[in-house]
A and B are shown apart, each in its own frame.
Chain A
Amino acid sequence: MVSCVNLNVTRDKNHILHDLTLEIQRGVIMGLLGPSGSGKTTLMRSIAGLQVIESGQIRVLDLVAGSKALRHKIAYSTQSASVYSDLTCIENIRYFASLYDHNEKTPEQILEDVDLSNNAKQMAESLSGGERARLALATTLVGAPELLILDEPTVGLDPVLRVQLWRLFNKLAEQGKTLLVSSHVMEEAENCHDLILLRNGRVLAQGTPSALRARTGKSRMDDVFINLIEEA
């Protein structure tokens, strides 16, 4: 689905991603974990085709990242909830949906998915932080994306909502979609099928949660991560 080979990214003379090589299979939820500043957002922007890269190769669905043909197939929600504050929730979704040739779901269904049906006519400006984050997530469900790149979609949400969203992510993966989900909360790793641990722009480890646990002999993901850092 996605493959990066020897990816290097430099921003403002800062070398941010170092020789990154990784592979993401179709239909999985790939967790991208790492401390703040480790390069998660930069990697996601690179895969989305929004980032100028220094060297290396990124292929998405057998096309070079950023190809025009991918625009109907990739969805990306940025870390800062990017929605129009001066439109209502439903208007935001309708607008983004109208940019795609084919939509799998109606705007109403999409709001239902993120539990915002009751806020449909509310201006985005007046949404709470968590509601706004869910609206931004909802804008990635328009069209018929095959790859969803979600930058910290569950930050600032309460446990009930988090569980609900992870259920939605699982449902999307069952439908054959691929999800790349970043987080700096290690416990979220439990919910992912596969994990990439990033540190200082390098891949510290890649594997399933259970494989990483077995490798380190730790049970809590926090400890797994610390153990892997010490090992490196």
Chain B
Amino acid sequence: MSIKRLMAMTKRVLLQLKHDPRTLALLFVSPALLMTILKYVYSSNPQLFQRVAGSMLGVFPMLVMFLITSVATLRERTSGTLERLMISPLGKSEFIGGYAIAFGLTSMVQATAVSTYAIWVLKLKIAGPQVTLIYAAILDALIGLAIGLAVSTFANTEFQAIQFMPAILLPQLLLSGLLIPRSAMPRILDDISNLLPLSYAIDATKRVITNQGSIVADSLTIAVFLVVLLAAGSLTLKRQTK
């Protein structure tokens, strides 16, 4: 792993984002808009707003990073730039690491902006510290990124890549305890949810919101998922193809 190449890769991904102001704007405006809608949807039940909106702070970065990553890597594949990189000295870990750092930083800014908006404007109450919430959001974002990277190999077009969201992400979301607590689901579903990375991401976010328990265990579980998913993603980056 060369730090110089890792930084070059990070810088390039950030530059691409910088040249795309519309995507940048959407990254911040759409979560804020959705939170605002939630606020008014639940206007008769502020308690529910507190619970759902809090978890959503973890869901946005994950959904967004999943989509951005799968489309970005797919674009590298179809445009031939990935092939161009594969004959260069750039290592696979530098390629993935560059995306992870660039998008991790982006989601940090996104989580900071959206949570600040939710706390100050929408009066969302967070029992734990906001910094920890932002940390949890970055973990969520990295999970989205890692899954996006891993599935992008199985897509040949951007259409297919986007279809992986309902196929892979939404079932996890439904089982993650966002709708009802995981312990209240049928036993079998609870068991399945224990195997899904998203469950831990949502758990961590919830713990910060309610300030109940430490998120160290969740962080470690997520770290293990990340290592496995990113390793799977790097295996799918082939230098030689048929």
Considering the chains assembled together, what is the distance between the CA atoms of A40 and B60 in angstroms?
A: 47
User: Quick one: closest A residue to B84, CB to CB?
Assistant: A82
Question: Which residues of B (36-64) have their CB < 8 Å from a CB of A?
Answer: none
B19 x A50 contact (CB < 8 A): no
B86 at the interface (CB under 8 A from A): yes
Considering the chains assembled together, what is the distance between the CA atoms of A181 and B79 in angstroms?
A: 21
B187 at the interface (CB under 8 A from A): no
Given contacts A84-B16, A84-B81, contact A71 B88 (CB under 8 A): yes
B89 x A72 contact (CB < 8 A): yes
Considering the chains assembled together, what is the distance between the CA atoms of A52 and B240 in angstroms?
A: 6
Q: A85-93, A167-175, A205-213: which lies at the B interface? A: A85-93
Dominant secondary structure at the B interface: helix
B84 x A78 contact (CB < 8 A): yes
A98 x B84 contact (CB < 8 A): no
A49 x B80 contact (CB < 8 A): no
Q: B4-12, B119-127, B138-146, B215-223: which lies at the A interface? A: B4-12
B87 x A82 contact (CB < 8 A): no
A225 at the interface (CB under 8 A from B): no
B83 x A50 contact (CB < 8 A): yes
Closest 3 A-B residue pairs measured CB to CB? Answer: A82-B80, A98-B8, A95-B12
Considering the chains assembled together, what is the distance between the CA atoms of A51 and B83 in angstroms?
A: 11
Q: Residues on A close to B: CB < 8 A?
A: 10-12, 48-52, 66, 71-72, 74-78, 80-88, 91, 95-96, 98-101, 123, 139, 143
A52 x B87 contact (CB < 8 A): no
Considering the chains assembled together, what is the distance between the CA atoms of A78 and B242 in angstroms?
A: 16
Considering the chains assembled together, what is the distance between the CA atoms of A163 and B239 in angstroms?
A: 34
Considering the chains assembled together, what is the distance between the CA atoms of A91 and B87 in angstroms?
A: 19
A51 x B240 contact (CB < 8 A): yes
Residues of B within 8 A of A99 (CB): 5, 8, 85, 88-90
Closest CB in chain B relative to A89 CB, distance in Å:
13
Considering the chains assembled together, what is the distance between the CA atoms of A11 and B240 in angstroms?
A: 12
A96 x B88 contact (CB < 8 A): yes
CB pairs A–B below 8 angstroms (20 shown)? A10-B242, A11-B242, A49-B239, A50-B83, A52-B240, A71-B88, A72-B89, A75-B87, A77-B84, A78-B83, A78-B84, A80-B79, A87-B19, A91-B15, A95-B12, A98-B5, A99-B8, A99-B88, A100-B88, A139-B84
Closest CB in chain A relative to B74 CB, distance in Å:
14
